[in-house]
Amino acid sequence: MGELFPDRARARNSDPGTSHAAAARASCNLRDSQITVLAQFASSRKMTDEQLVDRINEQKIKTTDSGIRSRRAELAKAGMLEECGKVPLRSGSNGRLWKATDKGNTYLEVIQW
């Protein structure tokens, strides 16, 4: 399987936000299901896959729990989300905590989510 965003425009970490916005606008064509997942992390929200699934299910969005986790994994691979810690889950085990990266937040701003 290839890259999620092949031949995409890029911006360096040191580039200003306008460069990141232009790169996102020029090259990131996320599917609606990916945008739905990414949008849950807007405004510095941090959550586990368990919390993400609960949040999307509360909104009555038609999808599966495994589909939600798959979209989150795709977004992490694309650099839109990153792991930022671990927290206890309902099961008692530890789960990864995720948050949007600057790239993810910039994308949401560019598409005016």
- Here the CATH number for the domain that contains residue 97 is 1.10.10.10
Model confidence over 45-90: pLDDT tens digits?
899 999 999 999 999 988 999 999 999 999 999 999 999 999 999 9
Q: Which backbone phi and psi does 61 adopt, to 5 degrees?
A: -80, 130
Residue 33 structural domain: 29-110
pTM over 0.85: no
Distance of CA 106 to the CA centre of its chain: 11
> Please, which residues have CB within 8 angstroms of residue 35's CB and are 6 or more apart in sequence?
111, 113
Asked whether residue 18 is domain-assigned, the answer is: no
Number of domains in the chain: 1
